[in-house]
């Protein structure tokens, strides 16, 4: 099967998270160290709560690999939860605002928010990062790199020119930055903002950006709605808990400008420039997507995350039994998780790109994928 599908199972405070990824070709060398490194990045970023000090997140491979190489069978991964107290944790007597609690209780017609929140928790995103850590090893073998950075936190934006300034050094900056941010001068203001929110018993949201480079043109499809990569990527990013908006390239700004200031002129690439085919775009306002397909320019997605809904100061809600207004239950929580969410965003884009890559190039083994890719690469030069 030459597409890529994935699923996860596991509650936030259950024994473990399980993930299954189907569709990796056989014969791929799979590094678990690489997966663990991505998992460690997801725990970085100032503003996370008590759980961050507890969990270590080391991946265990249960199936799909022999002697360090994929078998072409489903890959099954496991992540143990250090906090596995699901059987003893109390059942909140009220639904917490901003969470899945109330809609979930109404969906299943009960008064047990724990039955909902255990799965609605963003703990599950650790497994997405692990699965993407495997999937991205495939596209990286073909020159595709995906990385993300925080661009705004609690209303404080990175410098407008940070994008250009970061340039080719963006990945290096990302690794250096405590916030996984694009602009190191934001470190102190963001830290202050988080400290202020902590003191005010409040929480913060923000914006992050995911960039993919080295992407061949023509991934996705114009031909059917569900295959348009624009929608698939937006859906994948919005499937992360707490995400409220996605834009590509100019995004919402493109609604305000005339067409001459939105669309990207086409020119010849020149013999020495990197890329595929003879052409390139003079600008990349489209953010690397046209007609539901990749253009070969960097894919640029910006994602808005709402503030963490569990506030230490508490929000008003209603007690299920008494019907009285009460303050929502608080146990522990992050003040902000935008940097962590950016790593999850990176994972979602990597999974979606790996899926569309499998759809386009097929092949049961890595050698076959390579043959198909090279054949396309030669032909696209003739367009
Ligand atoms: C990486 C990450 C960490 C999160 N940590 C917390 C947290 O500590 N406390 C909390 O209340 N919400 C946290 N959230 C957000 C909630 O999971 C989310 O808002 C909730 O499940 C409701 O889903 P919705 O916002 O998509 O409607 C986190 C989200 C992400 C992506
Ligand atoms: C466990 C993770 O994030 C959790 C996401 C989360 C939520 O409500 O979404 C609430 C917190 O968990 P707890 O209620 O156990 O303190 C976060 O720590 C993780 O990112 O791995």
Exposed (0-12), middle (13-18) or buried (19+): which is 149, by Cβ within 10 Å? buried
Sign of the torsion angle spanned by Cα atoms 360, 75, 211, 157: positive
Alpha-carbon span 337 to 246, nearest angstrom: 17
Pocket test for ligand 2, best of 44, 312, 334, 339 (most atoms within 8 A of CB): 334
- Contacts with 218 (C-beta within 8 Å, 6 or more apart), sequence order: 293, 294, 360, 380
Alpha-carbon span 262 to 257, nearest angstrom: 7
- Contacts with 235 (C-beta within 8 Å, 6 or more apart), sequence order: none
Q: What is the pLDDT of residue 175?
A: 64
User: How long, in residues, is the chain?
Assistant: 383
**Do the annotations mark residue 35 as ligand-binding?**
no
Q: What is the pLDDT of residue 1?
A: 54
Domain 5-381 part of CATH 3.40.50.2300? no
Dist. CA 118 → ligand 1 center (Å) = 11
Structure tokens, 295 = 């253009």
Q: What is the pLDDT of residue 7?
A: 98
8 Å CB contact between 169 and 184 = no
**Do the annotations mark residue 119 as ligand-binding?**
yes
Q: Is the CB of 368 under 6 A from ligand 1?
A: no
Q: What are phi and psi of 359, to 5 degrees?
A: -60, -40
- Contacts with 287 (C-beta within 8 Å, 6 or more apart), sequence order: 247, 248, 249, 250, 251, 298, 299, 300, 301
Q: Is the CB of 126 under 6 A from ligand 1?
A: no
ipTM over 0.85: yes
Dist. CA 217 → ligand 2 center (Å) = 37
Dist. CA 303 → ligand 1 center (Å) = 15
Q: Is the CB of 337 under 6 A from ligand 2?
A: no
Backbone angle region of 175, left / alpha / beta, with phi > 0 → left and psi within -120 to 50 → alpha: alpha
Q: Is the CB of 304 under 6 A from ligand 1?
A: no
Q: What is the pLDDT of residue 274?
A: 84
Alpha-carbon span 230 to 305, nearest angstrom: 19
Q: Average pLDDT per run of 10 along the chain, which is 383 residues long? A: 90 98 98 96 90 93 98 98 96 97 98 98 98 98 93 88 59 67 82 95 96 96 97 98 97 94 93 88 94 96 97 96 95 93 97 98 98 97 95
């Amino acid at each position: 099967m030459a597409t890529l599908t994935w699923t996860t199972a596991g509650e936030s405070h259950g024994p473990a998270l399980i993930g299954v990824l189907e569709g990796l070709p056989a014969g791929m060398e799979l590094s678990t160290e690489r997966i663990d490194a991505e998992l460690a990045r997801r725990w970085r970023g100032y503003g996370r709560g008590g759980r961050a000090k507890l969990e270590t997140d080391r991946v265990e491979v249960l199936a799909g690999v022999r002697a360090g190489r994929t078998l072409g069978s489903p890959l099954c991964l496991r992540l143990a939860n250090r906090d596995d107290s699901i059987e003893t944790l109390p059942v909140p007597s009220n639904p917490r605002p901003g969470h899945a609690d109330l809609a979930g209780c109404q969906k299943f017609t009960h008064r047990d928010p724990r039955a909902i929140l255990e799965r609605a928790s963003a703990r599950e995103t650790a497994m997405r990062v692990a699965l993407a850590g495997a999937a991205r090893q495939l596209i990286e073998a073909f020159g595709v790199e995906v990385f993300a950075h925080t661009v705004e936190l609690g209303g404080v934006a990175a410098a407008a020119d940070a994008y250009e300034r970061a340039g080719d050094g963006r990945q290096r900056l990302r690794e250096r930055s405590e916030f996984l941010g694009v602009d190191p001068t934001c470190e102190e203001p963001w830290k202050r903002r988080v400290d202020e929110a902590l003191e005010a018993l409040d929480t913060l949201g923000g914006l992050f950006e995911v960039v993919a480079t080295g992407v061949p043109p023509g991934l996705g499809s114009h031909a059917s709605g569900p295959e348009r990569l624009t929608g698939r990527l937006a859906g994948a990013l919005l499937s992360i808990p707490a995400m409220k908006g996605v834009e590509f390239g100019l995004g919402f700004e493109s609604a305000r400008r005339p067409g001459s200031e939105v669309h990207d002129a086409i020119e010849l690439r020149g013999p020495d420039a990197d890329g595929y085919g003879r052409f390139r775009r003079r600008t990349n306002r489209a953010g690397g997507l046209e007609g539901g397909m990749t253009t070969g320019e960097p894919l640029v997605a910006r994602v808005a995350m709402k503030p963490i809904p569990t506030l230490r100061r508490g929000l008003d809600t209603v007690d299920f039994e008494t019907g009285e207004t009460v303050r929502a239950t608080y146990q522990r929580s992050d003040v902000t998780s935008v940097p962590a969410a950016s790593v999850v965003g990176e994972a979602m884009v990597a999974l979606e790109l790996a899926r569309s890559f499998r759809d386009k190039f097929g092949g049961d083994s890595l050698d076959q994928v390579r043959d198909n890719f090279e054949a396309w690469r030669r032909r696209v030069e003739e367009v």
